[in-house]
Amino acid sequence: MSAVLNGVRKVGAYTYFAGACMRSAFTHGVPWDRVVSESYKVGVRSFPVLFTMALFVGSNLAIQGYAAFSTLGAGSLVGMFVALAGVREVCPLLAATMVAAKAGTEMAAQLAVMRTKEQIDAIEVMAIDPRSELVVPSIIAVMITLPALTVFTIFVSLVSAMAVAVLQLGVDQGEFLSFLVGYLSAYDLFAATLKSVVFGAIIATVSGYFGFYSERGARGVGEATNRAVVTMCIVIITLNFALTSLLYG
């Protein structure tokens, strides 16, 4: 019972924190110079790892799709499989979990260290809202860059899937593209982008919450980072089900 109450209390505290961040963006303004630097950090630095992941996720989707459909004598349907599984589900999740693991943990750890070293207190004493200075720019940056990274992930994985399907598995390029385009619509891209905006808000606010309210000391930093990444992954995967049900159900 106490664990349930504790969970409810934490959800309440997180909701209050997210609300306070929104309010501070309006009352204290947004330091746009920090939004730019955070966007660079989240976007550009996630590029190489996301490129590598997307490359091999696309290729494996092609191999698995081909293996499943070729037993039915319809190997060329791999284009449809990549469009449905890759664009609608795997790529938004892949981009979100990578950004959560890389940028989200970095944000949580950085804030926790700042808490430990009294740097957040220092900002408050300067009559500056630390949420508007440290968390709000990250929220905006992740909400802008994650959709872009998701589109990039989709593009790389589709190219890689096509390359493997055509060059390694012998699928006709025209058939692959025709099934891909036939089953992929603008609505799918809209849905993937919408998902990534929501995931971006979750990543930045969850990592911000755990970093901002971390215990002081090395243990506090470690716990904040660990709790942030576990919570982000669970919330993202759960929300993904809810969003898929809403958008395609």
Partner 1 sequence: MAELSTSATRPFDAIAAGEPIISFRDVHKSFGDKHILRGITLDFLRGETTVVIGPSGTGKSVCMKLIVGLLVPEKGDVWVAGTNVAEAHERDLMSVRRRIGMMFQDGALFDSMSVGDNIAFPLQRHTKLSDAEIRDQVAHALEQVGLPGIEDSAPSALSGGMRKRVSLARAVITKPEIVMFDEPNSGLDPLTSDEIDGLIGRMKEDLGITFIVISHDIVGTFAVADRIAMLYNGHLIAQGTPDAVLHSDQPTLRSFLARNMDLPPLPGDPR
Which residue in the set 60, 64, 119, 178 belongs to the binding site for partner 1 (CB under 8 A)?
119
Least distance in Å: CB of 60 to partner 1? 38
If one asks whether residue 124 binds partner 1 (CB under 8 A), the answer comes out as yes
Q: Which of residues 8-47 bind partner 1 (CB under 8 A)?
A: 31
Least distance in Å: CB of 68 to partner 1? 49
Least distance in Å: CB of 111 to partner 1? 12
Q: Which is nearer to partner 1, 59 or 207 (CB)?
A: 207
Size of the site for partner 1 (CB under 8 A): 15
Q: Which is nearer to partner 1, 27 or 52 (CB)?
A: 27
In this structure, are residues 168 and 60 in contact, taking their beta carbons and an 8 Å threshold? no
**Stretch of 44-52, 125-133, 162-170, 193-201 lying at the interface with partner 1 (CB under 8 A):** 125-133
How many Å apart are CA 150 and CA 34, to the nearest integer? 22
Q: Which is nearer to partner 1, 31 or 222 (CB)?
A: 31
Q: First and final CA of the chain: distance in angstroms?
A: 34
- Burial tier of 155 (Cβ tally within 10 Å: 0-12, 13-18, 19+): middle
If one asks whether residue 122 binds partner 1 (CB under 8 A), the answer comes out as yes
How many Å apart are CA 59 and CA 160, to the nearest integer? 5
Q: Which is nearer to partner 1, 128 or 144 (CB)?
A: 128
If one asks whether residue 125 binds partner 1 (CB under 8 A), the answer comes out as yes
In this structure, are residues 212 and 116 in contact, taking their beta carbons and an 8 Å threshold? no
Which residue in the set 12, 16, 121, 217 belongs to the binding site for partner 1 (CB under 8 A)?
121
If one asks whether residue 215 binds partner 1 (CB under 8 A), the answer comes out as no
The token duo for 28 is 């204290």
Q: Which residues contact 29 (CB under 8 A, 6 or more apart)?
A: 132
The token duo for 148 is 């872009």
- Tokens 């930045």 -> residue: 204
How many Å apart are CA 21 and CA 132, to the nearest integer? 6
DSSP character for 118? T
Write out the residues near partner 1 by the rule CB under 8 A.
31, 110, 113-114, 117-119, 121-122, 124-128, 133
